[in-house]
Amino acid sequence: MNKNILLLFLAISISSQAQWKSLFNGKDLSGFVQRNGQAQYKVIDNAIVGISTLNTPNSFLCTESDYSDFVLELDVKVEAGLNSGIQIRSISDPAYNNGKVHGYQVEIDPGGRAWAGGIFDEGRSGWKYPLSVNPNGQKAFRVGQWNTYHIEAVGQNIKTWINGIPCANLFDPQTASGFIALQVHAIKTEKQQGLTVQWKNIRIATENLEEVKFKGEDAPEISYLVNQLTENEIRKGWRLLWDGKTSTGWKIANGTEFPEKGWTMDNGVLSVLGLRENGKKVSGDIETVEEFGNFELELEYMLTEGANSGLKYFVVNDPKKGKGSGLGPEFQLLDDIRHPDAKEGVGGNRTTASLYDLITSENLSEGGGGKRIQAPGKWNKVRVVSKDGHVEHWINNLKMVEYDRHSQIFRNLVAKSKFSPHPDFAQAAKGHILLQDHGDVVHFRSIKIREF
């Protein structure tokens, strides 16, 4: 082969390969800057060691450079009792919360919850990808040992692996670029003082990423794309239940046409305005034209302060009753702090994510504790799964309610509730899906469904 041709071939071959770049020289903290907290960072035995410190907020050792699309690899070891994380595409802006670091965080979690490898939105919206949706990923992290993290951030898709096991697979449009940072989490007790988290072999590729992206099975997908389906969702049979623009597929509950007033569709958001005239609804609830039996439904909603609404399913129309309302099991949507209905019912069974007036919602994914619901003014993700009578309520990817609508237990609950005059409540094979007008301003988007 001609020498010049050989050199050209080698140059093309090298240029098509991903070029790894080390982010840590193994000797000092060159290329990094510390932000927010005052926890110590040292270099010991070719590793960056973060040391927990009382009375200081979360600390972040941040790269001086920003990165958009990349594949990042590093080894991590943390002592039990200390939570930590790897920030990616993160930002520190003096105009936002006094420069608090915010952005995607790949979790380092040695606790019993086992959410290491999940994706937390630090300083903004909380958990984007808890490993409650991926039990196999919960087995990946080895407490007290070195763990290899592989993180891919390409376009709106972020994927993570620990020790070769898929952990997270997130689609999110919020942030396209930012720095990478190593977190030492704030601590609360003397017992946690001096615990360490370590990072080594930190390298990044920013070009020709197909060469270093992992092939094979991914973690289950979670998408926050607005009014848009991913390729994987389309393959699995998902479709938009609201097109993001028009009233196609929707009508006033127990009627035929979409209401002329009381609901708006603007900039990809479907809003109920809660309009009243002389104390009466101007419009009313809306529902799907279609009916559904076995299905998986997702949507995002945002409350205004003090608002009340609901998502109903298996709604059966009754020609003897007026337009604008419907009867069916309800996924409660409520400002639990400000709306008085949160204190009504029995044991909190009218709070957010509850099966209204029947079953109280609780964080089943973490074995109790807080519900991790975003406050009014922020979006929350709802998921309802219905298959052969088995129904689940999820909010922000945490399971809140689980029941069998055909069981004796369910019938007994109905008999003791406000629905007792309706012995066939929630027993229809199929029904409409309904969004409630309860007299308050509430917003919806990204409404999608697949049928089983």
pLDDT-based confidence at 405, cuts 50/70/90? very high
* CB 79 within 8 Å of CB 195: yes
pLDDT digits (tens, 9 = 90+) for 33-55: 999 999 999 999 999 999 999 99
Q: What percent of the chain has pLDDT over 90?
A: 91
Does residue 90 register a pLDDT over 60? yes
What φ, ψ does residue 402 adopt, rounded to 5°?
-145, 130
Does residue 143 register a pLDDT over 50? yes
* CB 13 within 8 Å of CB 147: no
pLDDT digits (tens, 9 = 90+) for 91-139: 999 999 999 999 999 999 999 999 999 999 999 999 999 999 999 999 9
pLDDT-based confidence at 159, cuts 50/70/90? very high
Give the 3-state DSSP-derived string for the chain, with helices as H, strands as E and coil as C.
CCHHHHHHHHHHHHHCCCCCEECCCCCCCCCEEEEECCCEEEEECCEEEEECCCCCCCEEEEEEEEECCEEEEEEEEECCCCCEEEEEEEECCCCCHHHCCEEEEEEECCCCCCCCCCEEEECCCEEEECHHHCHHHHHCCCCCCCEEEEEEEECCEEEEEECCEEEEEEECCCCCCEEEEEEECCCCCHHHCCCEEEEEEEEEECCCHHHCCCCCCCCCCEECCCCCCCHHHHHCCCEECCCCCCCCCEEECCCCCCCCCCEEEECCEEEECCCEECCEECCCCEEECCCECCEEEEEEEEECCCCEEEEEEEEECCCCCCCCCCECCEEEEECCCCCHHHHCCCCCCCCCCCECCCECCCCHHHCCCCCCCCCCCCCEEEEEEEECCEEEEEECCEEEEEEECCCHHHHHHHHCCCCCCCCCCCCCCCEEEEECCCCCCEEEEEEEEEEC
Q: What percent of the chain has pLDDT over 70?
A: 96
The pTM of the whole model exceeds 0.75: yes
Write down the pLDDT at residue 368.
74
pLDDT-based confidence at 415, cuts 50/70/90? very high
Task: List domains and CATH numbers for the chain.
Answer: 18-223 (2.60.120.560), 231-451 (2.60.120.560)
pLDDT digits (tens, 9 = 90+) for 213-230: 999 899 999 999 999 999
pLDDT-based confidence at 322, cuts 50/70/90? confident
pLDDT-based confidence at 11, cuts 50/70/90? very low
* CB 300 within 8 Å of CB 446: yes
On the CB side of 386, how many CA atoms lie within 13 Å of its CA? 27
Residue 35 in tokens: 């932000």
Does residue 2 register a pLDDT over 70? no
Measuring CA to CA, which residue among 354, 437, 438 is closest to residue 394?
354
CA–CA separation, 263 vs 43, rounded Å?
59
- For residue 239, the cross-strand partners are 449
Residue 206 in tokens: 């920013």
CA–CA separation, 240 vs 223, rounded Å?
13
Taking residues 318-331, report their average pLDDT. 91
Vertex 247, ends 244 and 253: CA angle to 5°? 125
pLDDT-based confidence at 417, cuts 50/70/90? very high
